Chain A
Amino acid sequence: MNRKVLLFLLIISANLVIGQQKKFQINGAARGYFLSNNLNLDESLDSVTTRKANYGHTLLDLGFSLTPNKNTEVIGMFRIRNELGGFWGGGVSFDVRQLSLKGIAGNVVKYEIGDIDLKMTPYTLFNTLEEGVVNEGDVFDLRREIVHYDMFYGNDNTWRMQGAKMNFGLEFGKHINSIDVNGFITRQRPTDGIAEPERVYGGGTIKIKQSDNLTIGLNSVNVFDLTETIQDSIQYKNNVHTFDVLYNKNITRNIKVGLKSEAGISGTSYNNYIDTRAPESLEDWFYDVALVAHIKDKNIKMELGYKDVGADFFSAGAQTKRIDYSRFPGLYQQITNSAVGRQISYTDMISGNTENSFKINEQLLPYFAGYNNISPYGIATPNRRGIYVNLLRTDSVKFRNSFLNASFMSQSRGTGTVNKKNFILLTAGTDIYMNDFFGWKKQLKVDLGIRYENTTRNGEEYEKGNLNSTFIDAGISWEFAKKLDLLVGTKLWLVNGTAYVNQRNQFNTVVNFDVIDYHFTENTYAAGMRYRFSDKNTLSVQYQVFDIQHKQSNSVDYGISQFSFLYSLFF
């Protein structure tokens, strides 16, 4: 009987697929993820915290795409998630993960409504990568992908929002090749009906392509409150308007040079706020200009640039951090007998135990100066000026992606003193395909990355600061049997010095400073195996050891070892 039912369903399913081949598609992802954690901490320091913490889940993201006519597509995705150990409905959640409609109106205007992914320029709308990644190895990357997927952090720095966007293009015969127009409007916050007005984020870009050599863009993004959604008349506004220019010219057959730039202004206002700390309006500007060169036969790209981002330049869409470092991690939130809140570490990021932003934020979130003090808010970090150099060499064999980036920045306005901080940032990395050296068919890849950051400030004794942060990111992936990879990797942090970290209020005004002495090493080692059923379907097991050691006696040294099992399928 069961066989007959199964056969019947199979035939029906096949007919459905064949009959509606172009009108109905299914895609999505499936995952099984299990983690077993062990806290390593001296018993004399902590006899309270439970050492073992096991958790995991299985989930299915079932997406479908309906195409009722050639110009319209409806996309929906449901998530069914079952926490391990939750049987017969306990611990099961059923959510709508995505719902959007898109199409082409009048064969001219593309539109998308519902859940949309948005990105503009690094100074207007840009989802900057979190700390702790410099060309990381596969052993870490495959777990980070899970966090990014869950938080809708696309590889191309997009933010997932809810609203509508449209796009259309115009082509011309003379003077201008084409004009692309993009616009969007999203809802950032519904009103609570009492004190918080509805908050909207909208903007767009006009990209004018004059020729293959010259492209000019006009960009605008605006956060604003709808005033009549509550009785009160308070209104927050953050407007950013920029223009960007990309000019390239072949000076020889082999060398292309050009100029890449973006400049703009921001204005932030808090209208009719009762709170006297709210500045009525703040305005500032930035520019970022770089000479670019591309040596084609060497596959080398170079940038030499100068930027100046004002201290009061605020761009909510570009400066929102992915991780809120003021929150304690979800796992082992407090440790020691004194129940000390645990600082976020790299192992929390990769395990998804951090408080992550799922939408843009009008406040500059607290950052961890030990990890990143020069650009905690991405390229658009306010109060930075200086030069930068970026070199990139791509190749098809051996050293396939090599890069060297250097920045020499300073503050444009002092914090707490007229003496300004100076920053040096060096980042380098490469992917070495060892199999290319030895002529092996199976891949043996070494990922190397290093980041060094130095912050100094001169002046009186109480103003002086010197913070060094060195980060090494390395990994090896070796296909030692067909589709079976051995993965190892490490992330090492060495941080020494004193940082004066800004404390900002809700209006982004600096109100105080945390003077923090950092003297720690943070080490993460991971090893595991991965079997690739296909590029989108893998099974991996890993063991990861993390520990943090401080030089100061008042800080707690501890470690977390973690075993993980991950089955991942995208279809």
Chain B
Amino acid sequence: MKKIALLLIVILFSSSCRKEDSNNFDGPNLNDLFGPFSIVETIKINKNTADFPSDNELFFSGELSKNTSWVITIIGETTGAKRTLTGTDRILSTDNAAWDGGANTFPGFGLENAFIEISFPKEENSPVLYDTVSITNTKIDNGYLITSFENGEGANWSKFNQTTVRGQIDCGTGESAKGNCHYGFNGTVPWDWAIGSVMVKPNSGTFGLPASASNLYFNMAFKPLENTGIGNTFLQFWFDEDDNGDGVFDEATEDRFIYEYWYEQGGWNLVSYKYSDIQFDEDGNQISTNGNGLPEPSKLVSINVFYLANKDNGNAKALIDHLIFTTNKPYTP
């Protein structure tokens, strides 16, 4: 028994040297929390001329003395489009500081100069870095573009405007959410909430959308300008589907899904929702249609954007732009 005990002791001693854990430590790095801040390698963008269709994306690179919060803000000179990149890593690279040419929200970037500002908000007295990039070609959207109003009205489109309302495509005003043109409504309708609408249709057949509604998002830019405020302004989207495939939409026998979007805030809003959600009302109840009741994007033959505003509030004015369908996720401008 004594021998066993001694053996145990020998084993204990022989195995008792803990492997040196000199490269690891518990918790966050004290250097990141309390260490001095400096820019070890200056932060710069990899190209000062951006051709996004060919470049795919630009990226920033550089090295800081510690992991700390950094903010890169890119602002379009003409459009005012804004993109913010943030992170806390000590080393900036294509993995954490890449820009695909998109903006945080509408408006998107155009062919313009973009001003870059790099700051470190948690570091007192830290420098702010500046740079400029020239966009020679904007990013290509992934999705099914219905219209960005850049090419005028389609052959099959139809419009409705109250007699006192001007509803049309405007270009070159510098107000567009994307590109150079948008559609605007402007007028006073003291007798009715209905201001005007534009029904967008393909030149022939359907829009060529995929069959599945569950991963397809409808997106549009909306900018209420006058007669705004919660409860005063909303949009109705009419999605007409040619259920029987005869090339003609019959409201009496086929699906017209009407989806409402009410005013949320001023400025450009990204209206985005899953196409499969248009079959439900705001309470989640199935809405009644005259067709098969199923949202089927591949049968979509027209989208009517109907602008409505409080008739008691005077003049109503709003802009819409960039109708696009995306798969799997909402559109990023």
User: Do residues A515 and B34 form an inter-chain contact, with CB atoms below 8 A?
Assistant: yes
B8-64 residues with Cβ-Cβ distance < 8 A to A are 8-9, 12-13, 16, 18, 21-31, 33-36
B29: chain A residues at CB < 8 Å are 416-417
A263 contacts which of B12, B28, B30 (Cβ < 8 Å)?
B12
- Segment from A153-161, A505-513, A551-559 that makes contact with B: A505-513
User: Do residues A308 and B25 form an inter-chain contact, with CB atoms below 8 A?
Assistant: no
User: Do residues A310 and B31 form an inter-chain contact, with CB atoms below 8 A?
Assistant: no
User: Do residues A214 and B5 form an inter-chain contact, with CB atoms below 8 A?
Assistant: yes
Asked whether A261 and B26 contact (CB < 8 A) given A412-B21, A462-B34, A462-B35, the answer is: no
User: Do residues B12 and A289 form an inter-chain contact, with CB atoms below 8 A?
Assistant: yes
Q: Is A129 an interface residue (CB 8 A)?
A: no
Q: Is A363 an interface residue (CB 8 A)?
A: no
- Range of interface residues on A (Cβ < 8 Å): 35 or more
User: Do residues A513 and B27 form an inter-chain contact, with CB atoms below 8 A?
Assistant: yes
Q: Is A287 an interface residue (CB 8 A)?
A: yes
Smallest CB separation, B53 vs chain A (Å) = 38
A506-558 residues with Cβ-Cβ distance < 8 A to B are 509-513, 515
Q: Give the distance in Å from the alpha carbon of A413 to the alpha carbon of B25 in the complex.
A: 6
Q: Is A175 an interface residue (CB 8 A)?
A: yes
User: Do residues A216 and B18 form an inter-chain contact, with CB atoms below 8 A?
Assistant: no
Q: Is B122 an interface residue (CB 8 A)?
A: no
User: Do residues A460 and B18 form an inter-chain contact, with CB atoms below 8 A?
Assistant: no
Q: Is A111 an interface residue (CB 8 A)?
A: no
User: Do residues B31 and A417 form an inter-chain contact, with CB atoms below 8 A?
Assistant: yes
Q: Is A492 an interface residue (CB 8 A)?
A: no
Smallest CB separation, A207 vs chain B (Å) = 13
Identify the interface centre among A176, A310, A417: most chain B CB within 10 Å of its CB. Answer: A417
Q: Give the distance in Å from the alpha carbon of A258 to the alpha carbon of B9 in the complex.
A: 12
Smallest CB separation, A313 vs chain B (Å) = 11
User: Do residues B12 and A287 form an inter-chain contact, with CB atoms below 8 A?
Assistant: yes
User: Do residues B33 and A513 form an inter-chain contact, with CB atoms below 8 A?
Assistant: yes
Q: Give the distance in Å from the alpha carbon of A106 to the alpha carbon of B36 in the complex.
A: 72
A247: chain B residues at CB < 8 Å are 5
Asked whether A416 and B28 contact (CB < 8 A) given A210-B5, A214-B1, A245-B5, the answer is: yes
Q: Is A463 an interface residue (CB 8 A)?
A: yes
A415: chain B residues at CB < 8 Å are 25-27
Q: Give the distance in Å from the alpha carbon of A261 to the alpha carbon of B15 in the complex.
A: 14
User: Do residues B27 and A502 form an inter-chain contact, with CB atoms below 8 A?
Assistant: yes
Residue of B nearest to A308 (CB): B18
User: Do residues A511 and B28 form an inter-chain contact, with CB atoms below 8 A?
Assistant: yes
Q: Give the distance in Å from the alpha carbon of A528 to the alpha carbon of B139 in the complex.
A: 84
Asked whether A311 and B12 contact (CB < 8 A) given A210-B2, A214-B2, A462-B34, the answer is: no
Q: Give the distance in Å from the alpha carbon of A509 to the alpha carbon of B40 in the complex.
A: 31
User: Do residues A418 and B31 form an inter-chain contact, with CB atoms below 8 A?
Assistant: no
Residue of A nearest to B29 (CB): A416
Q: Give the distance in Å from the alpha carbon of A175 to the alpha carbon of B13 in the complex.
A: 25
B23: chain A residues at CB < 8 Å are 418
User: Do residues B35 and A512 form an inter-chain contact, with CB atoms below 8 A?
Assistant: no
User: Do residues A460 and B26 form an inter-chain contact, with CB atoms below 8 A?
Assistant: no
Q: Give the distance in Å from the alpha carbon of A85 to the alpha carbon of B12 in the complex.
A: 61
User: Do residues B9 and A261 form an inter-chain contact, with CB atoms below 8 A?
Assistant: yes
B18: chain A residues at CB < 8 Å are 308, 310, 385, 412
A319-368 residues with Cβ-Cβ distance < 8 A to B are none
A416-473 residues with Cβ-Cβ distance < 8 A to B are 416-418, 460, 462-463
Q: Is A123 an interface residue (CB 8 A)?
A: no
User: Do residues B25 and A414 form an inter-chain contact, with CB atoms below 8 A?
Assistant: yes
A502: chain B residues at CB < 8 Å are 26-27
User: Do residues B25 and A418 form an inter-chain contact, with CB atoms below 8 A?
Assistant: yes
Smallest CB separation, B24 vs chain A (Å) = 6
Residues of B within 8 A of A (CB-CB), count: 24
Residue of B nearest to A515 (CB): B34
Residue of A nearest to B66 (CB): A462
User: Do residues A500 and B30 form an inter-chain contact, with CB atoms below 8 A?
Assistant: yes
User: Do residues B33 and A416 form an inter-chain contact, with CB atoms below 8 A?
Assistant: yes
Q: Give the distance in Å from the alpha carbon of A176 to the alpha carbon of B1 in the complex.
A: 8
Residue of A nearest to B23 (CB): A418
Residue of A nearest to B6 (CB): A247
Q: Give the distance in Å from the alpha carbon of A510 to the alpha carbon of B30 in the complex.
A: 12
Residue of A nearest to B20 (CB): A412
Smallest CB separation, A305 vs chain B (Å) = 12
B12: chain A residues at CB < 8 Å are 261, 263, 287, 289
Q: Is A243 an interface residue (CB 8 A)?
A: yes
User: Do residues B33 and A413 form an inter-chain contact, with CB atoms below 8 A?
Assistant: no
B28: chain A residues at CB < 8 Å are 416, 511-513
B16: chain A residues at CB < 8 Å are 263, 287, 289, 308
Q: Give the distance in Å from the alpha carbon of A273 to the alpha carbon of B30 in the complex.
A: 29
Q: Is A278 an interface residue (CB 8 A)?
A: no
Q: Give the distance in Å from the alpha carbon of A138 to the alpha carbon of B140 in the complex.
A: 83
Q: Is A259 an interface residue (CB 8 A)?
A: yes
Identify the interface centre among B1, B8, B29: most chain A CB within 10 Å of its CB. Answer: B1
Smallest CB separation, A306 vs chain B (Å) = 8
Q: Give the distance in Å from the alpha carbon of A435 to the alpha carbon of B1 in the complex.
A: 50
User: Do residues B9 and A413 form an inter-chain contact, with CB atoms below 8 A?
Assistant: no
Task: Scan B242-278; emit 1 where CB is below 8 A from any A CB, else 0.
Answer: 0000000000000000000000000000000000000
Task: Scan A296-314; emit 1 where CB is below 8 A from any B CB, else 0.
Answer: 0000000000001011000
B8 contacts which of A245, A311, A413 (Cβ < 8 Å)?
A245
User: Do residues A512 and B9 form an inter-chain contact, with CB atoms below 8 A?
Assistant: no
B1 contacts which of A175, A263, A417 (Cβ < 8 Å)?
A175
A462: chain B residues at CB < 8 Å are 30-31, 33-36
A227-279 residues with Cβ-Cβ distance < 8 A to B are 243, 245, 247, 259, 261, 263
A513: chain B residues at CB < 8 Å are 27-28, 30, 33
User: Do residues A259 and B33 form an inter-chain contact, with CB atoms below 8 A?
Assistant: no
Q: Give the distance in Å from the alpha carbon of A413 to the alpha carbon of B252 in the complex.
A: 75
A216: chain B residues at CB < 8 Å are 5, 8
User: Do residues A416 and B27 form an inter-chain contact, with CB atoms below 8 A?
Assistant: yes
User: Do residues B1 and A311 form an inter-chain contact, with CB atoms below 8 A?
Assistant: no
User: Do residues A510 and B27 form an inter-chain contact, with CB atoms below 8 A?
Assistant: yes
B24: chain A residues at CB < 8 Å are 413-414, 418
A175: chain B residues at CB < 8 Å are 1
Asked whether A243 and B33 contact (CB < 8 A) given A308-B16, A415-B26, A416-B27, the answer is: no
A398-414 residues with Cβ-Cβ distance < 8 A to B are 412-414
Asked whether A417 and B9 contact (CB < 8 A) given A210-B2, A462-B30, A462-B34, the answer is: no
Smallest CB separation, A71 vs chain B (Å) = 34
Q: Give the distance in Å from the alpha carbon of A261 to the alpha carbon of B23 in the complex.
A: 30
Residue of B nearest to A175 (CB): B1
User: Do residues A418 and B22 form an inter-chain contact, with CB atoms below 8 A?
Assistant: yes
Residue of B nearest to A415 (CB): B26
Q: Give the distance in Å from the alpha carbon of A513 to the alpha carbon of B29 in the complex.
A: 10
User: Do residues A311 and B26 form an inter-chain contact, with CB atoms below 8 A?
Assistant: yes
Residue of A nearest to B13 (CB): A289
Q: Give the distance in Å from the alpha carbon of A261 to the alpha carbon of B12 in the complex.
A: 10
Residue of A nearest to B4 (CB): A216
Q: Give the distance in Å from the alpha carbon of A245 to the alpha carbon of B2 in the complex.
A: 11
B31: chain A residues at CB < 8 Å are 417, 460, 462-463
Residue of B nearest to A382 (CB): B26
Smallest CB separation, A360 vs chain B (Å) = 23
Q: Give the distance in Å from the alpha carbon of A245 to the alpha carbon of B1 in the complex.
A: 12
30 pairs of residues in contact across A and B, judged by CB atoms under 8 Å? A176-B1, A210-B1, A214-B5, A245-B5, A247-B5, A259-B9, A261-B12, A287-B16, A289-B9, A289-B13, A308-B18, A310-B18, A311-B21, A412-B21, A413-B26, A414-B24, A416-B25, A416-B27, A416-B29, A416-B30, A416-B33, A417-B31, A460-B31, A462-B31, A462-B36, A510-B27, A511-B28, A512-B33, A513-B27, A513-B33
In the A-B complex, the 5 residue pairs with the closest CB atoms: A510-B27, A414-B25, A416-B30, A462-B34, A510-B26
Q: Given known contacts A289-B13, A416-B33, A418-B25, what 12 new A-B pairs fall within 8 Å (CB)?
A: A214-B1, A214-B5, A243-B8, A308-B16, A310-B18, A414-B25, A415-B27, A460-B30, A460-B35, A462-B31, A511-B27, A513-B27
Chain A residues proximal to chain B, CB less than 8 Å:
175-176, 210-211, 214, 216, 243, 245, 247, 259, 261, 263, 287, 289, 308, 310-311, 383, 385, 412-418, 460, 462-463, 500, 502, 509-513, 515
